[in-house]
Amino acid sequence: MDAGDRPARLTVGVLGSGKVGSALGAALAQAGHRVVAASGVSDNSQRWASERLGLATSRPDEVVAAAQLILLTVPDDSLPDLVNGLATTGADLRGKMLVHTSGAYGLSVLEPAARAGALPLALHPVMTFTGRNDDLNKLTGISYGVTAPDMLRPVAEALVIEMGGEPVWIADADRPLYHAALAQAANHMVTLVAESSDLLQGIGVEHPGRMLGPLLGAALDNVLRLGIAGLTGPVVRGDAGTVRKHVDALILAAPEAADAYVALARLTADRALAAGLLKPEEAERLLDALGGNIWT
């Protein structure tokens, strides 16, 4: 990126100095911008503002007044009310960049503020944040789902690159599906692995993480390199009897997990069949094993 393409050094405010806001604020500070104000309600948000940004928290209106770029890093369900509040309480938004980090929302949620003169950007970091000290290091090399008006695309791109990320352009209308894909992969993986760990502990495996780690690492590497062609296991082999044993065991041990297993096994069989990895007659036997009578 040429020096002329870099945004001018900006004063930055963070509305919601939680796990994401404090990490991105620190990343912008490392890039040479100046974080001047932050708001946060919870004890953790106030602590992260102090530890990561070197700031005591302020009122939201003070954050807006002090900054040229304002990060809106609040939970998704709080974002519309926050934007509407900024637009209707008389805050001077003219010429200020309002940057939200929600994956599911695009630019439309910022429309009330844009009508008041704000410059809207959606920059969603594709990473999990836990509040641990390594959150800032996780930002290096990650993708950001970026949605911006045409005139602001160079600015959005520059901000992402300055934070060590890679901008990936997402159409406004595609933001919900984009975010659903990410949540399906990352959030549901955590649930599945936690469930598997509990099942293994329940039969006496003392350290399920040690057992699952190499297997999951190999499976993740396979799918990222090969796609569905990296699939292994009883479904792609057409082992309907084994799949049925799995379902029966789950009904007894963890009935709340059985529905998820059946749904994912059906989806796996559908994808394997479409990819030519599974013969139609094998798929039919699998679907019979996963059929509507499994609860009787």
Distances (CA, A) of 278 to 63, 123, 227, 265, 274: 58, 40, 15, 13, 8
Residue % of the chain over a pLDDT of 70? 96
pLDDT at 295 over 70: no
Pairing of strands 143-147, 97-100: unpaired
**Mean pLDDT, residues 54-63:** 94
pLDDT at 4 over 50: no
Distances (CA, A) of 21 to 99, 119, 130, 273: 11, 19, 12, 43
Pairing of strands 69-72, 97-100: parallel
Distances (CA, A) of 39 to 56, 109, 144, 191, 260: 8, 20, 24, 31, 40
| pLDDT at site 296 | 31
pLDDT at 251 over 60: yes
DSSP, collapsed to helix, strand or coil, labels residue 277 as: coil
Reported as a single tens digit per residue, the pLDDT across 84-125 is 999 999 889 999 999 999 999 999 999 999 999 999 999 999
Name the least confident of 2-16, 81-95, 117-131, 226-240.
2-16
Contact predicate 155/180, CB 8 Å: no
Neighbours of 198 (CB within 10 A): 13
Q: Specify the fold of 11-170.
A: Rossmann fold (3.40.50)
The per-residue pLDDT of the chain, averaged, comes to 94
Distance CA 238, CA 219 (A): 19
Q: What are the domain boundaries of the chain?
A: 11-170, 177-290
pLDDT at 267 over 90: yes
| pLDDT at site 292 | 44
Half-sphere exposure of 122 (CA within 13 A, CB side): 31
**Mean pLDDT, residues 28-53:** 95
Neighbours of 292 (CB within 10 A): 7
| pLDDT at site 215 | 97
| pLDDT at site 49 | 95
Placement of tokens 């594709």 in the chain? 126
| pLDDT at site 6 | 61
Give the type of residue at 155: V
**Mean pLDDT, residues 234-240:** 96
Distances (CA, A) of 261 to 229, 247, 283, 289: 20, 7, 16, 12
pLDDT at 161 over 90: yes
- φ, ψ of residue 103 to 5 degrees: the values are -80, -35
Q: Decide: pTM greater than 0.85.
A: yes
Burial annotation 264-281 (CB, 10 A radius, 16+ → b, else e): ebbebbebbbeeebbeee
**Mean pLDDT, residues 222-249:** 96
Domain 11-170 shares a fold with domain 177-290: no
| pLDDT at site 90 | 84
DSSP, collapsed to helix, strand or coil, labels residue 169 as: strand
CA proximity to 91, closest of 100, 80, 82, 79: 82
Pairing of strands 69-72, 119-125: unpaired
Neighbours of 78 (CB within 10 A): 13
Please state whether 12 falls in left (phi above 0), alpha (psi between -120 and 50) or beta: beta
What is 177-290's CATH number, 1.10.1040, 2.60.40, 1.10.1660, 1.10.20? 1.10.1040
